[in-house]
A and B are shown apart, each in its own frame.
Chain A
Amino acid sequence: MKKFTTRYIAAAASLAMAGMAGTAHAADSVNVAFFLEWATPNQIAKVDKAYDDAMGVDVNWTDFSTGVQMTEAMLAGDIDIAYSQGLAPFVTAIQQGAPLKMVSIAVVYEANDCFVASSLGINSSNASELEGKTVAVPLNTMADFSFRKQMAALDVDIDTMTIVDQAPPDGAVSLADGSVDMACIFGGASAKAAGEVGSPIMSTQEKTDAGIGSFDVVSVTESFANENPDLVRSFLEVTHEANAAWTASDEQIAKVAADAGMDVATTRNQMAGFVFPTAEDQTSNFFGKDGTAAAAAESLGLVFKKPGAWNVDEKIAKVMTGEFIE
């Protein structure tokens, strides 16, 4: 009995300690979050240990399945840098008061598509017929943002629609079954399945013309940026070097595919839609005065704004900085 009690006390005490333990640590190693099945040139640098060499510390890579989880891990102190976190989870994290910073753009890619069931015969020219229809949308993701921007561009009132919260694979199935009329999708496999039974409401060109695009960011915790600006700088430098060295040769693609956990063809397809902005492009266009990064984050912040929330846009502009890009 006594032994039992002691054990309970020990367990409770260790729990309490875990809750209180600070995150103070010297930067002997840096923990980076990334996505599997999201092919980027810097994976070559990752495999070749170029990051470890350039930063002079051990770089530990941990894979995550959603950007929200990246935020959680950063707040818990387990992750210092999140590479290619989605803009949507970053902005919602800021809105919830998370001490994070956007220091660079990782990948720029085409906005997620919304597929309309082929049988309806609706395209961008008669999009108003979508009113009153049922749409599958993974809420609070980049696909949600893209859906709202596209509907706004096509002048469709989304208040008249029935919005169903579905993960992309489920949305694709529901579209095929005809239980929803349109499905907004992210992810290669789901988009392919949805493309079989539907067609995108806006073409690539139309989306570009309407200024609807999306990008992933590199985010760091504020404390890490304050304490180790040199490491953040080296990290971005290596990333940009890797991007610059990218020629999409077979050898490179094979290396990235192996690390991303995909086959070569899928990797090639996925990367064909990616743009990796150079350091100069980022400092002048994305992070400069009236930069696109701030504009996109602000409009996304307004879309996801909680009722009664305060000046969201102002808050977001302050946590974006290009100072670490050289």
Chain B
Amino acid sequence: MAEWLSDNRAIFALLTIIGLLIAFVWSIRVGVLQTRLRARDEVFGDPERTKGGWYWAVCGVAALMLVWFYFSWGAARAVFPNAANELCQIAKIGESLAPISAALPVRSRYLKSTTLAVRNSAQLEALSTSMPEGVFSADEARRLETSVDRTRQLIALLSNPEFTSQATKRSLADVEGQLADLTGKLEAGPGDMMPSPEALTQSRWGTSEVEIPMLPMTSRGVMFDHVSAELVDVSKDFLSIRNLSPRVEDMIASTAELINSVKKGEPQVDLDENGAKARKAYVKAVERIFKRIDDATIFPAQAMEGINNAVAKLNATVDDAKGGLGIVEATFFPGQGIVKSKTQCTEQGSGRWLPKPSDVVVTFVTLANPDMSGGGGYKGTRLLWWKWLSIADVVGFLFPDSIVDMLPGDYGTHGVDGEFQPTYKDHMLAFAQGDVYLGSVPMLDGHIWDSLFRVLVAMAFGIMLGVPLGIYMGVSRLFKSFFDPLIELYRPVPPLAWAPLILTIFGIQDDGKIFLLFMVAFAIMVISARTGASGTQLSKIRASHSLGATDRQILRYVILPNALPEILTGVRISIGVCWGTLVAAEMLAGTTGIGFIENVARTVSDYELIWVTILIMGLLGLLFDLVMRWVIGKLIPWRGKG
């Protein structure tokens, strides 16, 4: 079932996209109608105006999802499931043609020959003016100057069509002819070419580790594939062409000899160490440029014209043969499109780092699968599940072992038969360490629970300690003045700055991570409770006082309700900040948790996993906030009505 769903994810994505489009258009229609209906009797700035309006929420979510589908190429895969395979075949042509294209002004502005000739001439120019003084004899200097000069002439010879040999011209024409033949093949169309049975059984785009199926699955794809295979040989032929003619060969041989005579010959002047170095470096530089030219890969501009036209024609024909696919590529594949590398076709552009919604769902389902032997979970822990928690473990956690150490008597030893003889202290120790059976209770388990647990415990401590302290700071001079400097001193420090200390104080267990989150929550809770308490209207306190309320009653019935809106806003803010700090906290010593998954996924650039963790954190945060909104609605219904 899961397999079938996974294989057909493109179709489900298509249905989802259609649904989203309908929802988008429909929600706008409802929204506009509703707005028109209410436009007359509403006042700008009235809080009632922001109530309701769920259709705009539908509109927003639909728009976000559609943008996601589009930029992740999810829409492309849903509507044109075979496009990637065909584009991959076309990318193969691009790859096979790359050696020829690189010599032409296709992806660059100039011919490669032009670039080589100009760049090396400039370097020769620089070289001829920078000959070091005193390390060459006059004769040697003359010979080197001649070498530089001849290399320059060599560039001129290679660039001049008059000196291009017939053989070279024939080879170039031959490549041109082969390119024209292949263009003809493309023009003739696929005919009765059929994809191989092997190709048709490939897994579909994005459903397996191989992102895009490599073998052509359509007859047009087969045609492109054939052409690209033949192009490999054409490119090889092209690369083996050398612009050699008798004159050029003579020039190369004589220049090489000249350079060698200086290089190999004994220096004719006395040299110190630095001099020898300078001499060697200069000869090397001359030789290096000469070596670059003596491959004879510079061709006259005119000679390349034919091939340039042939390649342009071939590319144009590929574009024609693409037909509608070209428009699909331009509109549905934002980015660089599909690129063929050595072993596979990959998505380059936003499709690479933004996984498709359907793939994210599949990754999430795999991760959430509680059957770990079946590939579920992550690094040996489930995403969210339950387990039996032994009560003895909790007791063992609460009961420090050192108490047993303080009891009188000794621990057991092994007896003469080699068997352990426990004393009463050993039994006590087993209890303190949780090695006894006291029954079990069901408990949540997994990465999400671990993260949630850390946040919830930190929040609970933050609220329990922060709110009373904050309220007392709001009403008592002693509390305010005593705690104000302490709180204000640590509050502005970003939680990450504490991280290195936490690690060495608390170690790698949960307590350190919880403490880090607690510090974040505590400061926010104190500030918000204090602001709430000190913001109570004086008239209310005076009124209750003159009606005979005790201090306790004033605190409970006047100040606390007045501080409640601020406190609850503080809770909302601190939960958000806690989630933000969680990733950092779990980076300290990661074993489980959502932040841990993200940290590990980051090291291997596993974008699907990264997005899954981002979404989980976002959704959990949203869930918290919805709960808080409900709580706020229940606890302080008078908010904003004063």
Q: Which residues of A contact B (CB under 8 A)?
A: 16, 19-20, 22-27, 53-54, 56-57, 68, 71-72, 75, 92-93, 95-101, 134, 136, 139-141, 162-167, 170, 173-174, 176-177, 179-180, 222-223, 226-228, 230, 304, 306-310, 315, 318-319
Q: Which chain A residue shows the least CB distance to B341? A: A99
In the bound complex, CA of A186 to CA of B463 (Å): 41
Q: A307 near B375 (CB under 8 angstroms)?
A: yes
**Would you list the 8 A-B pairs with minimal beta carbon distance, nearest first?**
A99-B341, A26-B108, A179-B507, A165-B590, A140-B603, A226-B98, A227-B102, A24-B107
Please provide the chain B residues from 316 to 353 with a CB less than 8 Å away from any CB of chain A in the complex.
334-336, 339, 341-344, 346, 348-350, 352
Contact with A along B108-144 (1 / 0, CB 8 A): 1110000100011001000000000000000000000
Please provide the chain B residues from 55 to 75 with a CB less than 8 Å away from any CB of chain A in the complex.
71
A306 — which chain B residues lie within 8 A by C-beta? 209
A166-B588 CB under 8 A given contacts A96-B606, A139-B603? yes
Of A140, A166, A223, which contacts B604 at CB under 8 A?
A140
Q: A56 near B107 (CB under 8 angstroms)?
A: no
Given contacts A173-B500, A226-B95, A308-B209, 20 further A-B contacts (CB under 8 A): A19-B334, A20-B349, A26-B108, A26-B109, A53-B123, A53-B285, A68-B605, A93-B605, A97-B344, A99-B346, A99-B348, A136-B508, A163-B591, A164-B590, A165-B591, A166-B508, A166-B590, A170-B503, A227-B101, A307-B375
Q: B107 near A227 (CB under 8 angstroms)?
A: yes
Please provide the chain B residues from 592 to 616 with a CB less than 8 Å away from any CB of chain A in the complex.
596, 599-600, 602-606
| Interface check B211, CB cutoff 8 A | yes
Of B349, B507, B606, which contacts A19 at CB under 8 A?
B349
In the bound complex, CA of A78 to CA of B197 (Å): 41
Q: Which chain A residue shows the least CB distance to B605? A: A96
Identify 5 residue pairs between A and B in the complex whose beta-carbon atoms are under 8 Å apart, listed by A's number. Answer: A19-B334, A136-B508, A163-B379, A167-B587, A174-B589
Q: A136 near B339 (CB under 8 angstroms)?
A: no
B329 to chain A minimum Cβ distance, whole angstroms, is 12
B54 to chain A minimum Cβ distance, whole angstroms, is 26
B375 — which chain A residues lie within 8 A by C-beta? 307-308
A97 — which chain B residues lie within 8 A by C-beta? 211, 341, 344, 346
Of A167, A170, A226, which contacts B102 at CB under 8 A?
A226
A315 — which chain B residues lie within 8 A by C-beta? 343-344
Of B335, B508, B603, which contacts A180 at CB under 8 A?
B508
Q: B603 near A141 (CB under 8 angstroms)?
A: yes
A310 — which chain B residues lie within 8 A by C-beta? 208-210
In the bound complex, CA of A117 to CA of B604 (Å): 29
Q: Which chain A residue shows the least CB distance to B349? A: A19
A98 to chain B minimum Cβ distance, whole angstroms, is 7
| Interface check B236, CB cutoff 8 A | no
Q: B350 near A19 (CB under 8 angstroms)?
A: yes
Q: How many B residues are at the interface, by size bracket?
A: 35 or more
A298 to chain B minimum Cβ distance, whole angstroms, is 14
Q: Which chain B residue shows the least CB distance to A139? A: B600
A227 — which chain B residues lie within 8 A by C-beta? 98, 101-102, 107
A16 to chain B minimum Cβ distance, whole angstroms, is 7
A195 to chain B minimum Cβ distance, whole angstroms, is 18
Contact with A along B86-110 (1 / 0, CB 8 A): 0000000001001101100001111
A304-B604 CB under 8 A given contacts A19-B349, A101-B342, A163-B591? yes
Chain B binding site: helix, strand, loop or mixed by DSSP? Answer: mixed
Q: A57 near B119 (CB under 8 angstroms)?
A: yes
Q: B119 near A56 (CB under 8 angstroms)?
A: yes
A24-B108 CB under 8 A given contacts A53-B285, A163-B591? yes
Q: B123 near A56 (CB under 8 angstroms)?
A: yes
Q: A318 near B602 (CB under 8 angstroms)?
A: no
Q: Which residues of B contact A (CB under 8 A)?
A: 71, 95, 98-99, 101-102, 107-110, 115, 119-120, 123, 208-211, 285, 288, 292, 334-336, 339, 341-344, 346, 348-350, 352, 375, 379, 500, 503-504, 507-509, 587-591, 596, 599-600, 602-606
B591 — which chain A residues lie within 8 A by C-beta? 162-165
Of A54, A96, A308, A318, which contacts B342 at CB under 8 A?
A318
Of A23, A26, A164, which contacts B110 at CB under 8 A?
A26
Q: Which chain B residue shows the least CB distance to A66? A: B603
Q: A173 near B343 (CB under 8 angstroms)?
A: no
Q: A92 near B605 (CB under 8 angstroms)?
A: yes
Of A100, A140, A164, A307, which contacts B508 at CB under 8 A?
A164
B589 — which chain A residues lie within 8 A by C-beta? 136, 164-166, 170, 174, 179
Q: Which chain A residue shows the least CB distance to B337? A: A22
A176 — which chain B residues lie within 8 A by C-beta? 504
A20 — which chain B residues lie within 8 A by C-beta? 334-336, 349
In the bound complex, CA of A162 to CA of B509 (Å): 12
Of A22, A56, A174, A222, which contacts B341 at CB under 8 A?
A222
In the bound complex, CA of A273 to CA of B309 (Å): 55
In the bound complex, CA of A55 to CA of B459 (Å): 60
A92-B208 CB under 8 A given contacts A19-B350, A53-B285? no
A118 to chain B minimum Cβ distance, whole angstroms, is 18
A227 to chain B minimum Cβ distance, whole angstroms, is 4
In the bound complex, CA of A19 to CA of B95 (Å): 22
Q: B335 near A319 (CB under 8 angstroms)?
A: no
Q: Which chain A residue shows the least CB distance to B375? A: A307
Q: A222 near B599 (CB under 8 angstroms)?
A: no
A72 — which chain B residues lie within 8 A by C-beta? 605
In the bound complex, CA of A57 to CA of B118 (Å): 12
B605 to chain A minimum Cβ distance, whole angstroms, is 5
In the bound complex, CA of A68 to CA of B210 (Å): 21
B252 to chain A minimum Cβ distance, whole angstroms, is 18
Select the residue from B102, B500, B599 with max chain A CB neighbours within 10 A.
B102
Q: A179 near B508 (CB under 8 angstroms)?
A: yes
A134 — which chain B residues lie within 8 A by C-beta? 508
